[in-house]
Amino acid sequence: MKGLLIIIASPSGGGKGSVIKHIIGGSTKYSVSATTRKPRPGEIDGKHYFFVTREEFEKMIAAGEMLEYAEYLGNYYGTPKSPVEKWLDEGDDIILEIEIQGAAQVKEKMPECVSIFLLPPSMEILEKRLTGRGTETPEVIKGRIEVAKVEIEEARRFDYIVVNDRLEDAVTDVKAIITAEKLKYRRNEEIIERVLKDA
């Protein structure tokens, strides 16, 4: 059976990284994004992101090699298409950790994907999380909060809403969504055929 393409998006600071770390493993693969932003301390090229130059990124867009991409606070973020298609065909599930703008592009190109919006429990908690990260200036944080408000309005385009309050609950919820999506009728027609055939 073809794998499931799962989009997990949240405003910056919404905690998608921590949730995804607990979801991936086995046949659930993480699609590494490409970005033109500078690596944060500890981030590894090819694991957290493919860190590329603006020129390289724009060349990939022009060649149609991006499943989605977005410009966010002056940097490009995007998903290289070919590894995703290859894994799905091999039956692996793929987690896409993407920005809100990118999610709509993927939904359009691959409507069978499942989109999950991680919602912070409150704007206050979102701000605390962004501040606690300690990697951004107060001005950048203020900008991200404003962007987050606009992004949360976009949550209505998503299939599922998971409130990311306690991490373990959010992980359980995302796992339940993946399990349930695989049980949908349209993914199981062949099982019915098989049961009837041996009658």
- Which one among 94, 119, 130, 171 touches its own copies, defined by CB under 8 A? 119
Instruction: Rank residues 12 and 36 by Cβ distance to its own copies and give the closer one.
Output: 12
Q: Is 192 in the site for its own copies (CB under 8 A)?
A: yes
- Which one among 56, 149, 166, 167 touches its own copies, defined by CB under 8 A? 149
Encoded tokens for 84: 């995703």
Q: Is 120 in the site for its own copies (CB under 8 A)?
A: yes
Q: Is-contact 40 32, C-beta < 8 A?
A: no
Q: Is 162 in the site for its own copies (CB under 8 A)?
A: yes
- Which one among 93, 97, 99, 173 touches its own copies, defined by CB under 8 A? 173
The β-bridge relationship of strands 93-98 and 28-31 is parallel
Q: Is-contact 28 138, C-beta < 8 A?
A: no
What's the CA gap between 158 and 191, in Å, rounded?
29
Taking only Cα atoms into account, the Rg of the chain, rounded to an integer number of angstroms, comes to 18
Q: Using alpha carbons, select from 138, 82, 131, 96 the residue that is nearest to residue 5.
A: 96
The site for its own copies, by CB under 8 A, has a size of 38
Q: Using alpha carbons, select from 50, 18, 22 the residue that is nearest to residue 37.
A: 50
Q: Is 196 in the site for its own copies (CB under 8 A)?
A: yes
Instruction: Rank residues 66 and 174 by Cβ distance to its own copies and give the closer one.
Output: 174
Q: Using alpha carbons, select from 152, 159, 148 the residue that is nearest to residue 110.
A: 159
In angstroms, what is the minimal distance from the CB of 62 to its own copies?
A: 34
Instruction: Rank residues 61 and 180 by Cβ distance to its own copies and give the closer one.
Output: 180
What residues make contact with its own copies under the rule CB under 8 A?
117, 119-124, 145, 149, 152-153, 155-156, 158-163, 172-173, 175-177, 179-181, 183-185, 188-189, 191-192, 195-196, 198-199
